[in-house]
Chain A
Amino acid sequence: MEILTLAAKIGAYALMTGVLLFALGVVALRNLFHSALCLAAALIGIAGLYLFFRADFLAAVQILLYVGAVMTVIIFAIMLTEHLSGKTTIQHNRQSLPAFLGIAALVTVIAKVILQTPWPVTQKALGAHTSVEGIGTALMTVYVFPFEVISVVLIAALIGAVIIAKRENPS
């Protein structure tokens, strides 16, 4: 048993390293298509981490929405813009130093918040398994108002997209 736990631990750390490497590839690679593929790989890796932490519903939704939908649209856009897909682009410019400072500040703030939050580490919380039923019941009872608001926003976006696409050129 101990060997299996150890293997799982090593696997999780390897997965995290992989995600970080791919994330680095997204911002460092010179070819936009390669960057997009790295982003897809990083997102799949994050889904793997969710799976490791026993949030399997979240993992499936992560793959369905981010890899299946968002990444497909991104790659579609890259392939449609002919002059972007073949050439190499340099991903940094003169503003990289201020950007780095800003990101460093953001990371510090997030790290501080994470460290200061009293996470309730109880035996019950550790053994908890987020089930689909639980999420469904919560969405339909406690969180029904935000759920409905999101539905309305999505419908508005859908109708807006149709109207933009339907607009006819007078020429």
Chain B
Amino acid sequence: MIFDPVFIRLKALFLDLCARFFPEWVVMLASIVISAVVILVMGPVIMMYLTLLERKLLGRIQNRYGPNRVGIWGLLQPVADGIKMFIKEDIVPAHADKIIHLLAPVVTVVPSLMVFLVVPFGNGMTAVNLNIGILYFVAISSITTIPIFMGSWASRNKFSVLGGMRAAAQMISYEAPMTLAIVPVIMASQTLATATIVESQGGGFGMNWFIFTPWGLLGFIIYFFCAIAECNRPPFDLPEAESELIAGFHTEYSGMKFALFYMAEYMNAFTLSAIAVTLFLGGWQGPFLPSWIWFFGKTFLLVCVMIWFRGTFLRFRVDHLMGFAWKFLLPLSLINILIAGLWFLTPAIAAWALTAGLVVASFFVFVKLNKTFVPEKRTYVLAD
């Protein structure tokens, strides 16, 4: 495979060039700066084109074209949007807490960018191969509630505070099943490092992905639902439900500050899909094509599924949302850990039958237990 390590070769070439002219510490710094710059540029660029992809796909779902005026196929639409955001007036409410109102959108981008550090974009293309990679991801994504709190509190607006409260309740609830859904993968690969998790899914033409096991499939579904809830996308977009809360926690933001909230949301959608690919869909593993093409292909496929969900499903009700996390996903993810344990203890064919049966049985049991009470259909007889 010639094209596989092309980015690694480019970086090595540049560092070699540096080493001829500069002392050793400059080369070390350059190595860090290159990775940092690539990530800092890639995050916003991915976000820009995700907005375009989303609008195009949603347009197709709703039987219209989507943006097609700026550039060929509307390819320059994100640039036009960026310019528009920059020249919009920056409005700060009179009674807002000025400093925190300014800080919130800035802080909110930081955790979304930091997750990019541990994403394995290809074979040997992890920016920092931390040996606690997945734990780092869980820890960083647990901070994201605080900037939302800051923004909603500093705005001094009822809708903002309501949106902030909803965001926090939702994120805390969905964090628990998400973390528990990751546990079987850690059990299977015996490591927390993202690069090693991907490597343990190789073998058999690089198609030995965890999603092809019963516990992997269940874990992936739980993780993916929680991921959509974590980045506040429809059908879990209660924190910014337009019909109820105007715009939720970013009601009082305009111009570039609003764009930063938007950017964090789209970068979260990308990184959460990327981590889902890493954990369950074999990361960069796959036959024939270069590793980074496999990785980006799978990640954008998941992003497209998220957009498809947005175009298809209706928004949850608050109590349904909480019930779904605590009464359905959480017990299912706990049972999934048990099923994964059985998978490793029993021999091959028996394991398949046993775990697949258990997954299906527990799924239907929890669906049955969660059946909401529907009152009998009433008929009203009109008075004569």
Contacts and interface: CB of A to CB of B under 8 A. Distances in A.
Given A37-B150, A71-B146, A132-B192, A76 B138 contact: no
Contact of A63 (B28, B140, B161, B192): B140
A72 B146 contact: yes
Contact of B168 (A44, A57, A76, A132): A76
Given A1-B24, A33-B153, A60-B132, A40 B142 contact: no
Contacts of A60: 132, 135-136, 138-139
A131 interface: yes
B138 to A, nearest CB: 6
A44 B165 CA distance: 22
A55 to B, nearest CB: 10
Contact of A56 (B130, B138, B145, B164): B130
A4 B28 contact: yes
A57 B143 contact: no
Contacts of A40: 146
B45 interface: no
Interface string B154-174: 001000010011001000100
A75 B135 contact: no
A132 B132 contact: yes
B194 to A, nearest CB: 13
Contact of A4 (B25, B131, B138, B175): B25
A68 B29 CA distance: 31
Contacts of A56: 130-132, 136
B146 A75 contact: yes
B102 to A, nearest CB: 13
B131 A67 contact: no
B5 to A, nearest CB: 27
A79 interface: yes
B149 interface: yes
Nearest to B149: A75
Interface residues of B, number: 29
A33 B103 CA distance: 14
A69 interface: yes
A164 interface: no
Contacts of B132: 56-57, 60, 132
B149 A64 contact: no
Contact of A64 (B29, B100, B139, B145): B139
A80 B97 CA distance: 18
Interface string A41-58: 000100000000000110
A106 interface: no
B25 A1 contact: yes
A128 B156 CA distance: 50
A3 B146 contact: no
B153 A85 contact: yes
A61 interface: yes
Nearest to A44: B143
B136 A68 contact: no
A80 B169 CA distance: 12
Contact of A67 (B24, B100, B138, B142): B142
B100 A37 contact: yes
Contacts of B25: 1, 3-4
Contact of A57 (B100, B135, B156, B161): B135
Contacts of A80: 165
A86 B145 CA distance: 20
A67 B24 CA distance: 37
B273 to A, nearest CB: 21
A153 B138 CA distance: 24
Contacts of B97: 33
B139 A79 contact: no
Contacts of A67: 142-143, 146
Interface of B: 24-25, 28-29, 97, 100, 130-132, 135-136, 138-140, 142-143, 145-146, 149-150, 153, 156, 161, 164-165, 168, 172, 175, 192
Given A33-B100, A72-B172, A132-B135, 11 more contacts: A1-B24, A4-B28, A34-B100, A60-B132, A60-B135, A64-B135, A72-B145, A76-B165, A79-B161, A79-B165, A86-B156
22 contacts: A4-B28, A33-B97, A33-B100, A40-B146, A56-B131, A56-B132, A60-B132, A60-B135, A63-B140, A64-B139, A64-B142, A67-B142, A67-B143, A68-B175, A71-B146, A75-B149, A76-B165, A79-B149, A79-B165, A132-B131, A132-B132, A132-B135
In the A-B complex, the 6 residue pairs with the smallest Cβ-Cβ separation, listed nearest first, are A68-B142, A64-B139, A63-B139, A60-B139, A60-B135, A75-B149
